[in-house]
Every structure is written in structure tokens, then in C-alpha cells.
Amino acid sequence: MHSGEPHGPNLLPLELIKDLQPHIPNSTIVECNVLYPSPRKTTKGHLETLKINGFDFCPVDIMDADGDATLPIPGMREFLDAWLALP
């Protein structure tokens, strides 16, 4: 699920999600911070965006809230370093 940019138009209707969520016991919205320029690039900004967009009716788990995890794929660290160095 995509919780969107602040006030962004590319969201599922919030009413649809609010109506569905109670039917899924112990459900949590799962998100990750983004790499592109956005308030959602940081956990703090992401949490603010979730609140702005109305996603405060159930738990949200930002998977990389406590930092990144390097995957054991040859060359991945170099790829991520190069990606993050882009302007």
C-alpha cells in the first residue's frame, strides 16, 4: 500500500482502507522511507506525512525506521553508495 506524499493525489481512498482494516485482525500498515527527495525520505517526515494523509487509525511499521540493512548481494553496497551520491 502507498500512503502517498503530503496531500498527494495518488492514494487509495482512505475510506476504503479504514473500512477494510478492521476486518484484518492485528493488521499493520507497512511502509519504507524513500530515496528520492520527499518528506518521506526521513522517518520523522514520513510519520508526519502519514498523519497529514490520515493514516493514524491503525499501527504503521516503517521498516527502515531504525536504519538500513545491507543485503548480502555482491556489489549491493557499491550500488547503494553510488545511488545515494546522486544529486
Q: Each residue of 1-48: pLDDT tens digit? A: 778 899 988 888 889 989 998 899 999 999 999 988 999 999 999 999
Averaged pLDDT for residues 39-67: 93
Averaged pLDDT for residues 52-74: 88
pLDDT at 35: 86
What burial class does residue 20 get, using C-beta atoms within 10 Å of its C-beta: 0-12 exposed, 13-18 middle, 19+ buried? exposed
Q: Could you tell me which residue, 35 or 62, shows the higher pLDDT?
A: 62
Which band of pLDDT confidence, cut at 50, 70 and 90, is reported for residue 52?
Answer: very high
